[in-house]
Structure 1
Amino acid sequence: MNKQENNTPELSLRSQGWFGKKGKDGFIYRAWMKNQGIPDHEFKGKPVIGICNTWSEFTPCNAHFRELAESVKHGIYEAGGFPVEFPVMSLGETLIKPTAMLYRNLASMDVEESIRANPMDAVVLLCGCDKTTPSLVMGACSVNIPTIVVSGGPMLTGKYKGHDIGTSDVWRFNEAYKTGQMSADEFREAEACMGRSRGHCAVMGTASTMACMVEALGLSLPGNAAIPASDSRRKVLAHYSGMRIVEMVKENLRLSDILTREAFENAIKVNAAIGGSTNAVIHLLAMAGRIGVELDLNDFDVHSRGVPLLANLQPSGAFFMEDFYYAGGLPALMKEMGDLLHPAITVNGRPITENAQEFENYNKEIIGDLEKPINPLAGIVVVKGNLAENGAVIKASAASPELLKHRGRAVVFENIEDYHARVDDPALNIDETCIMVLKSVGPKGYPGMPEVGNMALPVKLLEKGVKDMVRISDGRMSGTGFGTVVLHVSPESAAGGTLGLVQDGDFIELDVENRSLNLEVSDEELAKRRAAWEAPTFESRGYVHLYQHHVTQSHLGADLDFLKGGSGSSVTRDSH
């Protein structure tokens, strides 16, 4: 059967650099693929679509991706494409030690090289758990071929003793367990009640935030972000995505056409409106760096201002991702945002604002509007000062209003081990007016910048009924977390930042309204401390050695310095 008989139009296909070759090389490329039972006509000018799969049983959020990939394949076949599934490193937030963030850049390299080295004309990215989304998008950006994202979807809402629960309740349960209000048996029972279906966290944590970010950027079909993993409509969207990616090859609609400056501004505004994770800051900065869009930390403050909280979802609100979908999902929320969004192009070839018009808001209690928002305060606030010269971030909608302007005495933990050893010591000199400071949990210092910034409060304060305190670190916190937590302090302590010089008893002032974070120590005293400061030693081998010597600071996206920009789709050397 020839191309004309197969009704496949003539295309300039990258894959034909392999499968269209004559002689020995073409023989080898086709013959070894044919041992999987693939007929000859599949190699005759059909678009080859890679399905980049982060399935892994060590990544429970993505454990259903084999099944989801089958739906994508059906769509690709229906549209006249040739699907080829391939695995890449999978990052499961709950199990990987020391932190999945350490390996985000490694996984992105895996994705980039897998796409660039193999005969595909486009790629479908199957993303779910927190770091799989940014790592796959980062890697694909560096190659810049037609790309579409299919998220795995959130879990169904947990049910425990007649109440709805989700990942954000883990922190509450832990406090109740530590203070004796919850027994060990109840704690164990709640585990099964929360994780009761396939999918990632059921709240607006980092996984759901990043699913919303790829949709807000225009990288997925409308509605992708919120469909529950176990809802049959998730498979339908995967099928349609498989169909659409074949058309994107014909249109040569690439990532660089979609990921414009306007698209990133849209994503920042949507992140504010959904009460999204602070982790989105680091991931969007890294993605922008790969695709070549100028974006900096201040953009998150500038474009978040004036955007109220419209999504009443935990941890900033009361409801869950399942509820969000039934209320209309992300397109309905973006419709409520109106003129705040740019009409940026999306993977379906239409402006994102036009896509949103086809959706409705079915529940104003879950999705507010600009006239009656869930909370007028939202978004990522960037604070700067002598304690964070390059900036730090705080999620205002998840903080206690009375602590957004606060001056307190520093109680310092030199590293996470020091914190665990002393936080519950009855002799610890701390009260609710103090500011907890955690060092050495930044990109270089930990290494990998773990989600420990929302430090659990000392038991003796929990027993007094204290619910929140100002906490400052160069690390991150889970998108499911909450509290008055200042994160991503840059430069980090391990890189010689002022955070590394803070001592017990120093006073710190946080003023969110005025965007300031200052250590009340004189320049002369800081100079003395800096002269006595000793830089930490880093790992001497393997990927961790590479990471610690080349990772950028958090205000630059914590990517590896040699990965900024793209490699392009040309193979390194096209010969044997």
Structure 2
Amino acid sequence: MKLRSIAANSPVRRAHWQALGLSEEDLLKPKIAVVNSSSELAVCFAHLDGVAKVVKEAIREAGGVPFEVRTTAPSDFITGAAKTGSYILGARDLVTNDIEAQVEAALLDGMVCLTSCDKTPPGHLMAAMRLNIPTLLVIGGYQASGMIDGDHVDIEDLFSGGVREALGGEMKHSVADMTKQAVRGPGVCAGMATANTMHCVVEALGMCMPGSAPVRANSEKMFDFARAAGRRIVGMVEEDLTPRKIMTEGAFRNAAAMVLAVSGSINAIKHLQATATEGGLPVDLYAIWDEMGRKVPTLSAVRPNGAVRIEQFEDAGGARAMLKQLEPVLDLDVLVASGKPMSEDLADAAVGDADIIRPLERPISDGPSIAILKGSLAPESAVVKLGIRDGSRPESFAGTARVFESTQAAMAAISEGKIQKGDVMVLRGQGLKGGPAMGGGASFVLFGIDAAGLAKDVAMVTDGQLSGLCLKGLTVAEVAPEAAAGGPIGKVRDGDRIEIDLDTRRIDLMVPAEELAGRDAVGTDFPVHADGWLGIYREIVQPMSTGAVLVDVKR
């Protein structure tokens, strides 16, 4: 058994810990951090104190000593209010650094991270790879949602409904009524948005107890997994089963397969790349995505992809059942948290409903559900979500650029009827430095296009990111290099022709290279003033190729 804290068991540390009630015997036990992002600001995290209590009890029963520590708690719908939402992605890396400053600084032996909303799962995974001490994530679960006159209503309906109402669109239910019903309890957004996508990713990576994701928040099942994680982490410390032994290149391929199969959030790509970067693992997630996208079709249609609710997906077996269906394309030799290879871990996995979680030979639609594009407009990368490829969204587009430097200007153009069939709306200055931290609200523009009835006739291109709830029309996001870094998107002018072709994975600006070279790039005059933390972020954030980490250190 490898106990780092014994080596650092100085008299002053013993004095502090004994004053907390620890005995001399306790000082020889594995010391486990219980990383909690509980917050009264957001319902996503409001229940985690209860989860922490259960985890700590289980750690004690297993022969360890738990120490609960707190980190920042970013919630898209709450802490996204200021600076056009820039604090959301920027807070992901605060979570990672917060953990290092407490867990690593105290030389604790392992950690259990209570993971909930969009940015805590990647923040926890990144910290696990950076610290490389035995780690498990406990899935905090998804929120209950309500009904209006027999219609299911959740946060996706409220988000899109709010935009539609603002643009004067017809509404079946009022925003006021939907606001009362969309969120009926603690946990993350109900749907295959970023949070539940990342929860499924955690399972595919082998970093939680098998069968943990997704799960109803505050259900007995969720608490059972929390107890199991508390017990298991002590064993992982004794076995020295560390994250870099689990999160290998094969594990990242498995995670990519999972996201493609569930048609998850495009945000998972940069979060996985950041996790690999933090561990010094030389993998290119964008290349892996392109490779796996040619193998993995869409096997489930959870909202916003289709009509399936997240509860149905869980009841059909959830992420574990999806891994079972994906077995032929997975790396089954990778280790998971149980200490077994995934092949053994999945031996008794079952699919409860093969219409909700389909086999590879009977997909809902051909892949990829998410594609990586490159071309003269995106020399490094760009991401497009296709979802279920049923012909309802165009897969190629050629049109005339209409350029916007802000969400407000783009929304005004939609509202005033200035966007026409065949236009390609280019929304720039929304990237890692330009946003900063990809703030700017590109998702609102996409919902605005849909609300205006233009989703089939207009394309959108942005260097910003999209909410995991977004699946409207043809939108190419996270164009890299971004405008603020001198990328070609900063040289696009109104009237330029842009061509998008998903078959060839291309996005091109049809302007002669000589003419483009002579144009001045925009993007250095940031629309959002960023000082404090956001100023630091803007200054040091690394490119999308790293997953947008703050320091790209080759460990």
Q: TM-score band, normalised by the shorter chain?
A: over 0.9
CA deviations on 1:34-80 (whole Å, 9 max, x unpaired) are 3333344322x111111011111123201111000111112111111
Aligned to 2:311: 322
Picking from 395, 400, 406, the partner of 1:409 is 400
The aligned runs of 1:495-514 (5 Å cut-off) are 495-514=485-504
Shift of 1:402: 4.6
Per-residue CA deviations over 1:85-106 (Å, capped at 9, x if unaligned) read: 1111221121123331022222
Cα distance in 2 for partners of 1:390, 1:459 equals 28
Instruction: Give the Cα separation in 2 of the matches to 1:252 and 1:276.
Output: 32
Instruction: Provide the C-alpha distance between the structure 1 equivalents of 2:206 and 2:183, rounded to a whole number of angstroms.
Output: 30
**Which structure would you say has the larger Rg?**
1
Cα 1:50/1:213, change in 2 over 3 Å: same
Q: Offset of 1:467 from its aligned partner?
A: 5.9
1:160-175 correspondence runs (5 A): 160-175=148-163
Tell me the CA shift for residue 117 of structure 1: 0.5
1:34 matched to 2:22: no
Distance 1:412 1:223, change over 3 A: same
Q: TM-score with structure 2 length normalisation?
A: 0.93
Separation in structure 2 between the aligned mates of residue 17 and residue 159 of structure 1, nearest angstrom: 56
Shift of 1:564: 3.0
Match of 1:278 in 2: 266
What are the within-5 Å matches in structure 2 for residues 368-383 of structure 1? 368-383=358-373
Cα-to-partner distance string for 1:252-287 (whole Å, 9 max, x where unaligned): 000111011100011111110111110001000000
Amino acid aligned to 1:418: A
Question: Does the 8 A contact of 2:160 with 2:447 survive in 1?
Answer: no
The answer as to whether partners of 1:156 and 1:322 remain within 8 angstroms in 2 is: no
Equivalent residue for 1:235? 223
SS at match of 1:247: helix
C-alpha distance in structure 2 between counterparts of 1:89 and 1:157, whole Å:
26
- Residue in 1 that maps onto 2:193: 205
Is 1:356 aligned to 2:346, yes or no? yes
**Separation in 1, partners of 2:384, 2:220:** 37
TM-score, with structure 1 as normaliser? 0.90
Unaligned stretches of 5+ in structure 2? none
- Whole-angstrom CA distance in 2 between matches of 1:563 and 1:466: 38
Match runs of 1:512-551 below 5 Å: 512-530=502-520, 533=522, 535-536=524-525, 541-551=531-541
**Structure 1 counterpart of 2:45, one-letter code:** N
- Aligned Cα root-mean-square deviation (Å): 2.2
Distance 1:468 1:321, change over 3 A: farther
Question: Are 2:53 and 1:62 equivalent residues in the alignment?
Answer: no
In structure 2, what residue type is equivalent to 1:169? D
Shift of 1:418: 2.6
For residue 445 of structure 1, report the CA deviation from its aligned partner.
Answer: 0.2
1:491 is aligned with what amino acid? P
Counterpart of 1:159 in structure 2 is 147
In structure 2, the residue matched to 1:569 is: none
Identity of aligned residues (%): 34
CA distance in 2, matches of 1:418, 1:241: 48
Change (3 A) 1:315 1:40: same
Residues 453 and 472 in structure 1, CA contact (< 8 A), matched pair in contact too: no
Which letter maps to 1:521? V
Change (3 A) 1:93 1:277: same
- Aligned-partner Cα distance in 1 for 2:228–2:366: 37
Does residue 135 of structure 1 match 2:123?
Answer: yes
The verdict on how the C-alpha distance between 1:460 and 1:327 changes in structure 2, with shifts beyond 3 A counting, is closer
1:191 aligns to what SS in structure 2?
A: helix
Equivalenced residue count is 544
When residues 166 and 212 of structure 1 are mapped into structure 2, their CA distance, relative to the original with a 3 A threshold, is: same
Would the aligned equivalents of 1:488 and 1:555 in 2 still touch at CA under 8 Å?
no
- Matched residue, 2:464: 475
Give 1:82's match in structure 2, choosing from 36, 59, 65.
65
Q: Say which is worse superposed, 432-441 or 161-170, in terms of deviation.
A: 161-170
After TM superposition, give the deviation of residue 558 of structure 1 in Å. Answer: 0.9
The secondary structure found in structure 1 opposite 2:518 is: helix
